[in-house]
Amino acid sequence: MSANRERFLFNLNIDFSVHGTEWLTLFSEAVSEQSSAWSVVGWSYSSNDPQLKVDIGVDSGCAVIEVLVAHSERPVRVVADEGPNLDESSVEMISNAIRIAESRVGKSNKEFEWSAVLLQRPGPRGVAERLDRPFSIGRNRLAPLDFVFRDPYPVNRHDSLHSYGVHQSIPVRVVGRSPGYSWREDASKNAARTLRDICAILAVSWEFHTYEVVEAAAPIDCGIRQARECRPWLRGAQFFRNGEVDWASHSINDWYDVAIEKVNHEQKLRYAVDAFLEARYVEDLHPSLAVVAYTASIEVVAGMLFKAQRCAACGSHMEIARRFRAALREVLSEGAAASLERMYNSRSRTVHDGRLHGRETTPGYWGFSVFPDDVSGTFSWEVMHLATAARLLLLRALTGGLPPQRVLSTSLRQP
């Protein structure tokens, strides 16, 4: 588009790096509101192009007006192609739509009801447990479905000679509401984040069982989410029937509402539960990576417990390892905490040297030694104890049970 063919329309005072997609969505709606004959028929964006191109057309598809949005400028300058389809009435229509969209940015009061399905992730921990009654976490309602899900999963443990095991669980449906200016661009992301938070809170609450999203959030208008009895790619599911299960019931705690509020308003706490949940997901097959995540989770809580000391010269954090050890002692005995201190070194060797410490490198090996040279076997037990420490610290953080932040005691020995 040449400069002499541009028609200036408007200067927008919004940050497109934050609200660009929102404005574009609202602008599309506003165009349709201004005229039933016109609508946004397409748009293109490139990170190398400082301008967003928006095409506005009529129902017949014959007439198109090209609008350019200089999103990298401040204010954002909006111009239109001075072509044959741009008359005064279309200029007025587009300019009004631009103003309306700007006035609505960040002020959406829409709310979308959705449903999703959670599934218990296969793993070696604990007995068979299920949710036996509905309950709520914040504004989200969880309820068990009425069938057993049979899930084949890869085994990489020392006590199995098989490539796959079969895990049985009861799926859980979640029904919630999420705000947003549109479902696809905004509310769906908020719903997905809520589901992740719920899974993390339940992982802290239900020590031996971890849930994951198996059916993503979808608007109730599209039909309530269901679940299959097995993975969709599985053939011959009848061969995976393990018979009746002696189910125990998940405990339902009264601190869930407090926990989800804290996660929503404390970003560092959300980082901590995210890392913990990811560690739970990978622990069975990737224990060395799980240690990295568990350690990160503990370090975040340690930062909540102890005031950070920074280097006067470079501003970097100091005493990180000491705070980690001190945090362990908040929930473990001196002996148990001392035995886990070497896990911090294991984590560092994985991060910096790429070293793996568990049985990732010996799949299917099932031997066990009572002597100290069985390093990988010892490591597996230490991972479980580290997970327990992380969970207990997060339990305190989520329920408001952490003491006030304080200066780290000098009584702990230096790393």
- Boundary-marking domain end, from 265, 281, 316: 265
Q: Are residues 215 and 361 in the same domain?
A: no
DSSP codes, 232-250: TT---GGGG-------EEP
| Cβ contact 174:115 at 8 Å | yes
User: Once rounded to an integer, what is the mean pLDDT over residues 51-68?
Assistant: 83
Residue 375 to residue 11: CA distance in whole angstroms = 65
CATH number at residue 99: 3.30.310
Return the beta strands (E) in 220-328 as ranges.
248-249, 309-310, 317-318
CATH number at residue 312: 1.20.120
pLDDT reported for residue 158: 46
Reply yes or no on whether the pLDDT at 12 is more than 90.
yes
Reply yes or no on whether the pLDDT at 312 is more than 80.
no
- Residue 411 belongs to a domain: no
Q: Are residues 130 and 257 in the same domain?
A: yes
Highest mean pLDDT among 52-66, 344-358, 359-373: 344-358
Q: Are residues 16 and 44 in the same domain?
A: yes
Q: Are residues 140 and 13 in the same domain?
A: no
pLDDT reported for residue 225: 95
Reply yes or no on whether the pLDDT at 159 is more than 60.
no
Is 387 exposed, middle or buried, given 0-12, 13-18 or 19+ CB atoms closer than 10 A? buried
Q: Are residues 9 and 142 in the same domain?
A: no
Bigger pLDDT: 402 vs 415:
402
- Residue 413 belongs to a domain: no
- Residue 351 belongs to a domain: yes
- Residue 123 belongs to a domain: yes
- Residue 405 belongs to a domain: no
pLDDT reported for residue 1: 45
Reply yes or no on whether the pLDDT at 391 is more than 70.
yes
Q: pLDDT by residue (tens digit) across 315-364?
A: 556 678 889 999 999 999 999 999 888 888 888 888 998 888 887 887 76
- Boundary-marking domain end, from 72, 104, 136: 104
- Residue 406 belongs to a domain: no
Q: Are residues 129 and 241 in the same domain?
A: yes
What range does the domain containing 296 cover? 267-398
- Boundary-marking domain end, from 250, 265, 280: 265
pLDDT reported for residue 373: 55
Q: pLDDT by residue (tens digit) across 189-221?
A: 999 999 999 999 999 999 889 999 999 999 999
- Residue 403 belongs to a domain: no
| Cβ contact 283:381 at 8 Å | no
Q: Are residues 278 and 336 in the same domain?
A: yes
Q: Are residues 123 and 247 in the same domain?
A: yes
Counting the structural domains of the chain, the total is: 3
Q: Are residues 392 and 358 in the same domain?
A: yes
| Cβ contact 360:375 at 8 Å | no
- Residue 410 belongs to a domain: no
Instruction: Give rounded-to-5 percent helix, strand, coil for the chain.
Output: 40, 20, 35
Q: Are residues 221 and 274 in the same domain?
A: no
Q: Are residues 255 and 283 in the same domain?
A: no
User: Once rounded to an integer, what is the mean pLDDT over residues 54-77?
Assistant: 86
Residue 108 to residue 41: CA distance in whole angstroms = 23
Q: Are residues 119 and 28 in the same domain?
A: no
**pLDDT range class, residue 294, cuts 50, 70, 90:** very high
Reply yes or no on whether the pLDDT at 236 is more than 50.
yes
Indicate the average pLDDT of the chain: 86
| Cβ contact 350:366 at 8 Å | no
pTM score of the predicted model: 0.86
